[in-house]
Each structure stands twice: as C-alpha cells, then as structure tokens.
Amino acid sequence: MTAVNVLFLLFGVIAIGSALLVVSTKRLVHSALWLVVTLGAIAGCYLLLTAEFVAWVQILIYVGAVVVLLLFALMLTKAPIGLSHDLTTKNAWFAGAVAVAVAAVLGATIVAGFNGEVIDLHTVEIGGAGATGRAVFSSWVLPFEILSVLLLAALVGAITLSRRDKAEAND
C-alpha cells in the first residue's frame, strides 16, 4: 500500500466520520463546522486524485461560500444555535438504513463500472482546468444546464416558501 493510498483512506475516513457528525449533532453551528471538515476531506481526496482544479473549486465554492452563507443564515434568522432537541427524529434508524442501502448500491455501481480500469496519467490530462472545461462544456453541457435550472427553481421555491410564512404571520 502506497502513501497516496494511505492518505486517500485517511481522508475518506475523516470525510465519513465528519459527515456522520454533521447529521447526528444537536447543535446547528457545530453541524455546519463539521460540514467544513467533511468538504475539506473531500477536497483532499480530489487533490490525491490529481484533480487540483476540482479540489480548489470544492474549497472556494463549497467551504468558502456555501458554508459561510449557511452560517450567516443561521445568525441572521435568529435560529437556535444552542442545543436543539428538535433536530432528532424517532425514525433515525430508518434514515440510517436508507443511507446504508444507498451507500451499498453506490459502492456496487462504482466497483462494477470501474473494475480493473487503469488510467495512464502520462497520456491523459486529468484534473486541470482545461480538461474540466472541455468535459463540462462539450459532452456534459446539457446536464450542466439542467442542473443550473434545477438549482434556480430550488432557490425560487425557497424564497417563495419563506415569504409565504411572513405574509401569513402578518394576517
């Protein structure tokens, strides 16, 4: 086992452990901070896979923007930042079973799809901005645009739902 494999395994264990803490902690701010650790570990995995551009995008956009936005939203909406017993559910075992089933299906799909494949890093450019841009804007342009429309619809829906509650409260 090489040092890269050991580091990849370490980053994977950190990502899984901190992801479990994201969903199991009863404090919202602690959950957001564990999300930073999870996303940082995933960025470390990208670095080990020689996808430097994707790793920096992961850090800049997800850690630097999304988590900061989440923390600002928690602070500005006066959400309870202390211990909250409302964050637990009686169906936690069901959610855990679904998570294990999804992980098993995803793992089986990855093993079946990439079993025995070896990528020669000397002949293929992987992880750079040029290769990522060519892949996204040539063969993946339609799914990329569909995802952007889906995210826009989710944003409009979230704004609509938040404004409806304030309008009902005023009546």
Q: How many domains does the chain have?
A: 1
* Domain that includes residue 21, residue range: 1-83
Note whether residue 117 is domain-resident: no
Note whether residue 98 is domain-resident: no
Note whether residue 164 is domain-resident: no
29-49 pLDDT, tens digit per residue, is 888 899 999 999 999 999 998
Note whether residue 138 is domain-resident: no
- Check which CATH number belongs to the domain holding 55 and give it: 1.20.120.1200
40-85 pLDDT, tens digit per residue, is 999 999 999 888 888 988 898 888 888 888 877 777 776 666 666 6
Note whether residue 27 is domain-resident: yes
Note whether residue 1 is domain-resident: yes
In the chain, alpha helices (H) = 3-24, 28-48, 52-57, 67-76, 92-114, 129-134, 141-170
Note whether residue 63 is domain-resident: yes
- Contact 45/11 with Cβ under 8 angstroms? yes
Note whether residue 36 is domain-resident: yes
In the prediction, which pLDDT does 88 show? 63
Task: Provide the β-strand partners of residue 27.
Answer: 83
